[in-house]
Structures are given as structure tokens and as C-alpha cells.
Structure 1
Amino acid sequence: MKKHLVLFAFILLSQVASAQLFSKEKIRNLENEDKRLLSYGFFLGYNSYDFNFDYNFDQADILVGKTGGFSVGLVGNIRILEYMDLRFEPGLYITTRNLMYNESYFNGLTYTDTDLEREVKSTYVHFPLLMKFSTKRINNFKPFVVAGLSTAINLSSNENNPDDNSSGQFRTKKNMFFYEIGFGVDLYLHYFKFTPSIRGVFALNDEIIQDKDPNSPWTNNVNSMKTRGVFLNFTFQ
């Protein structure tokens, strides 16, 4: 899914770039848009989250079944220099991941098919602070790269739940920290600026909460479980 998402975004941005770079159209929309110190907007988007596992022992990987999620949020932009902006993009990101365990995790134990799967629902309130580095504007087209740090609160976290996987509860932490990097293009339309962008996010801290039993088949082989994901956002300013 991630490969298809990246390919779609690349084709979209390439088509837009080609249309602008080779067009003879010289009329510039929103001529003074980038001269404003402060600007605001909102975004809608698609997200695809995954987990990256670091294991304690050499054992079969825990597979992650990913489902596409929905994103929505606000954008605040401060112009620092001609080609540099500071952006704050708080948003709500909703996703679900399904963990699938190999039977080898339960050697010597009695288990059911239900024990081999765990559903991890996440509703992140995401707070990224990003630096945006743009190129010179060409007609109504301006590509950019973006990078920064972010924190998120997982509203679906069951961190304080006294039950664990022995009761069917896979627990994750509430507070997360990430670094982010991506690229996109500003398109200056007649009435507003439209910005498709794609961004990768990578967790800095472990998200899993270990079960009470140190020999738990669900958590004893997991040294760390870190979120990673891809965002495809469409911003309107």
C-alpha cells in the first residue's frame, strides 16, 4: 500500500510540475501570497501507519496488517525568509493496525486463532512543527521539502488499563514523539493555494507496553515497537 501511495503522489506531482514548467502561461495567481508574514489553512488527507519491531530473540517476525486511515487538521505558517517557512500543522489521524503472530510464539502453550491476532486502534492528535524549504516560484508552481519534529497523543491508548494480552488487551503508550520528512508542491490557483504533499513519519520512542508476565508470548520477544507511517495531505490556504 505504501509503495502505491508513494507512486501515486510522485506521478501526481510530476504531472503538475510538467504542466507548469512547460506551459507558456505567464499569468501569476496570488502574486503576493508568499509575502504575508502569517497565513492559515486546513488539510485533508490519507494516512498509512505501520510498526517497526526490534526483537530480543531470533524468531518469526510479527506481521502488521495495515489499513488506510483518514486525516484532517489545520495549518499555521510563518514566513521566516524568502524560501523558508515555519509551519505548525495540528491534526487528527485515525488508523487501525492488525498484528499477526506466528504459531511459534505459543510453543508449549494452549492457544486459539484469536490469540494469534491483535487489533491496535490508534487515534492520534498530532502536533508537528516543521521547517519548509522552497525553491523559486515558477509560474504558479513551487516545489518544496519539509522536515521537523512532532508529538502526538493517542486518544485510543489503553495505557492505564490493568488488563493485558492475557485478557485480550494489547496496550500501547499514550504519548509519542516523531521526526518527519517529506516533499510537495504549492499550486497557486485563482482564489487559493492548493498543496499536495507526501510525508514520512518515524517514531522516536517505543510504543508497546509489556505484559505483566515476563514470558508473555505477545510481548516477551519485543524489545521495541515503533510507529512509522506515510501521510498524503491536501492543503488549502
Structure 2
Amino acid sequence: MVLVALVSSAQMRKVQNKPYIDLRPLHFGISLGLNLMDAEFTNVGTQVLEEGMTRTIACDVDNWNPGFSVGVVGDMRLSDNFNLRVSPTMHFGSRRLTFLDFDNLNDAGLPVHSTQDLKSSYMAVPVDLKFSAPRFNNYRPYVVAGVSPIINLAGKDQEYVRLKRFDSMINVGMGCDFYLRFFKLIPEIKFCYGLTNALDNNHVNDLDDVNKRPFATSINDCRTKMFLFTLYFE
């Protein structure tokens, strides 16, 4: 019994790395991560073209292509459990869009499909409120929520779909601070959802190919979505 008590006591008295880092009013770091970009489209359904003909085209994201993210982070201590975090980040990724043309069928009787690789380069500036549990030895779990204005730095004029330059997202996530000898390592997962319609509805007027216009007008709303896995080094 004495031996068990000694072992248990030794486990509880593990030496803490960086014991005062969370008492700093402000500290900085860098971030590296992976992202999965998605989009939620609202399709128009059957549309009437200028020639009086009807056309039914549906669009969806059929494939997630992993991208990468890199940024910096600034963390301000508000209290023992709350921190305000600002983390300007560049996100590079793409989505593969598939358009199903229900008025054109192939030999198997299925709608003919067209695809677009919608590449995006986002400059995001998330402002998050971080709520952390009490530290236990060398780890400390937390949850985080906030908003993120973003700037879309990519976009081609002659594709079916083009996104607006500016958008904003709401962020929710969770992670854990791991206190290493020389720094904190913080793995985090986060989900981001667009607050506004990211679709550039005026893009159809810039298309030189009139055959692409029914595809561009087949959507009237697009909400940006992203899944993020990030490693912070503070």
C-alpha cells in the first residue's frame, strides 16, 4: 500500500514545464496546419433562359482536396481561464465542383456532368475567445469560438463559379496546450462556416462563353465551410 501511494504521489507531482507562461499578458507564436475546404450551395433548380428555353443544372462539391495553412498568432491574457487570440493565417486549398445537366443525358441515361477545380487562397484574421480548463501537470484542454473576416486572393474570370473577394466566417473548435521544455505545442481542430453569401452573382456578365452562363446562374447562394487541423507553437 505504501508503494502504491508513493507511485501515485510521484505521478501527481510531475515537474511542470514553462510554469509561468500563462501569466504573461501577451505572447506570440506561429501556426502550421491542414485544411479541408467545402462549400454549401443553394441551387436555383429549373431556370428560364433568355431564349425562352428551360434548363435544370445542379452543383455540389464532390471531392475534398487537403490544403495547407500557415500563420502567426498573438495571445492576450484576460483572466485565469480566458484569453483573446488573434491569428492571421493564409489558407491554400481547392474544391472540385460537379455540375449535373439534367437536360443533357449520356448513353446510360444519366445527366452529363462538368467539373471545375475551384482554387482558393484565403487571408483570414480570426479573432477568437479561448476558454481553458485548469492546468494539470503539462497539459491544459480548451474550447474556442470567434469570427474571422477573410479575403479571397484567388479567382478566375472565365470559370463557371467565382467567389467574392470578401467574406466572414464563424469559428468553433477545441484543442489542448501541451507544455514542453522550451515552448507550448497546441494541436487544435476547428470548424468554420460562412456568415454571408460568398457567391459573386455578377460573375455571369464577365463570361465570354455563353454556354457557361446557365451553369453560373444555376446557383444563387454559397456558404464557405472549412475544417482545420492546426499546430500552434508558442
Structure 2-normalised TM-score? 0.80
**What does residue 145 of structure 2 align with?**
147
User: Shift of the alpha carbon at 1:98?
Assistant: 1.1
What are structure 2's unaligned runs of at least 5 residues? Answer: 1-9, 47-56, 106-110
**What does residue 50 of structure 1 align with?**
38
**What does residue 23 of structure 2 align with?**
35
User: Shift of the alpha carbon at 1:72?
Assistant: 0.5
Aligned mates of 1:102, 1:202 — CA distance in 2: 25
User: Shift of the alpha carbon at 1:105?
Assistant: 6.0
User: Shift of the alpha carbon at 1:216?
Assistant: 3.2
**What does residue 197 of structure 1 align with?**
188
Change (3 A) 1:25 1:102: farther
Structure 1 residues 1-237: aligned runs within 5 Å? 23-24=11-12, 26-57=14-45, 60-104=58-102, 116-158=114-156, 161=157, 163=158, 165=160, 170-210=161-201, 211-212=204-205, 216-237=213-234
Aligned mates of 1:140, 1:24 — CA distance in 2: 11
Aligned mates of 2:20, 2:198 — CA distance in 1: 44
Aligned mates of 2:78, 2:144 — CA distance in 1: 14
Amino acid paired to 2:216: T
Amino acid paired to 2:213: S
Aligned mates of 1:128, 1:201 — CA distance in 2: 10
Q: List per-residue Cα deviations over 1:138-160 (Å, max 9, x = no partner).
A: 111100000000111111134xx
Deviating 4+ runs (over 2 angstroms): 22-25, 55-64
8 Å CA contact 1:106–1:217 kept in 2: the answer is no
Identity of aligned residues (%): 30
Amino acid paired to 1:36: R
Q: Secondary structure at the match of 1:27?
A: coil
Amino acid paired to 2:101: E
**What does residue 5 of structure 1 align with?**
none
**What does residue 17 of structure 1 align with?**
none
Change (3 A) 1:105 1:148: farther
Change (3 A) 1:72 1:81: same
Two-structure CA RMSD over aligned residues (Å) = 2.5
By percentage of residues, which structure has more strand? 2
User: Shift of the alpha carbon at 1:115?
Assistant: 7.2
Aligned mates of 2:90, 2:60 — CA distance in 1: 27
**What does residue 11 of structure 1 align with?**
none
For the pair shown, the structure with the greater C-alpha radius of gyration is: 2
User: Shift of the alpha carbon at 1:66?
Assistant: 1.5
Amino acid paired to 1:219: A
Q: Secondary structure at the match of 1:191?
A: coil
Aligned mates of 1:200, 1:51 — CA distance in 2: 13
User: Shift of the alpha carbon at 1:25?
Assistant: 5.3
Amino acid paired to 1:26: K
Structure 1-normalised TM-score? 0.79
